[in-house]
Amino acid sequence: MMPQLDMEIATPSATPTVAETTAAPSAAVRSLTEEDAVELWLARWLKTPRKVVMARYTCDARRIYEVWEGSRFPGSRAKALERLRALHPNLPEQVDVSRHRRIPRGTHPSQLSLFGR
């Protein structure tokens, strides 16, 4: 004879839904500090994917590009370059350590002259 197992019937309120078990915990958006800006520069030079950076700092991509363009924390690039030289002495000569440059998506006004009527 088989032993009888005690089994409780789960009520719908006690059972988590699929969305509850797979959803990532919501992270609060925080503002970047200067130390974060230095680490953002290092992540850029070490080719860390942008999605990974955004997830780590829980911020919008525009805030990251503000740091990389130099409009926020302008002194952080120099500090990061010093730290990069200390951590990886040969790397600054192998990577592009310049600021981010926006690529315009529209046509330049001078290009319209090519289509004269």
Positive/negative CA dihedral, 52, 56, 61, 66: negative
Domain boundaries, the chain: 28-92
pLDDT digits (tens, 9 = 90+) for 8-41: 544 455 555 555 545 455 556 778 999 999 999 9
pTM of the predicted protein model: 0.64
What Rg, from alpha-carbon coordinates, does the chain have? 25
